[in-house]
Amino acid sequence: MPTWTLHTEFKFDAAHFIDGYDGKCGRMHGHSYKVYIAAKSHKLNPSKYLKSADMVCDFKELKWAASVAEKGGLDHTVLNEEIQGSTTAERIAEYIHKETKARIPDGIDLTVTVWETDTSWVEYTDKDV
């Protein structure tokens, strides 16, 4: 069976605090987040920008979070104002995954990796790997 996997990465800057955290992460602070997304599909699809079925999905749709809030992204936002619930790295990765899935064709398996620092990251997928 043919398989295509798109890979992309991008960065965004944002502030947040972890409500109820007993330590410095409970106070407002910022990160330069790095995000890596892998999108795997067994078929090619059209997109908003290309009507023929020649891509897994558009890279633009995978990189939405790098946009500023006014354009629907997370760059230069306070994540607590954009994400319902906790803003741990785990929940940020889950949120980006959920919002990305809503923007791309059905049947694409996503893996989202979010680096909060150079040495600390989390990977999220909704598939059992």
Residues marked as catalytic = 25, 76, 116
Rounded CA Rg of the chain: 15
Among all chains, which residue has been given the structure tokens 């997304």?
Answer: 37
Give how far the C-alpha of residue 2 lies from the chain's centroid of Cα atoms, to the nearest Å.
Answer: 25
State how beta strands 77-78 and 4-16 pair: parallel
Pairwise CA distance, residues 126 & 111, whole Å:
8
H or E element that contains 79: helix 79-82
To 5 degrees, how large is the angle CA 125–CA 80–CA 24? 95
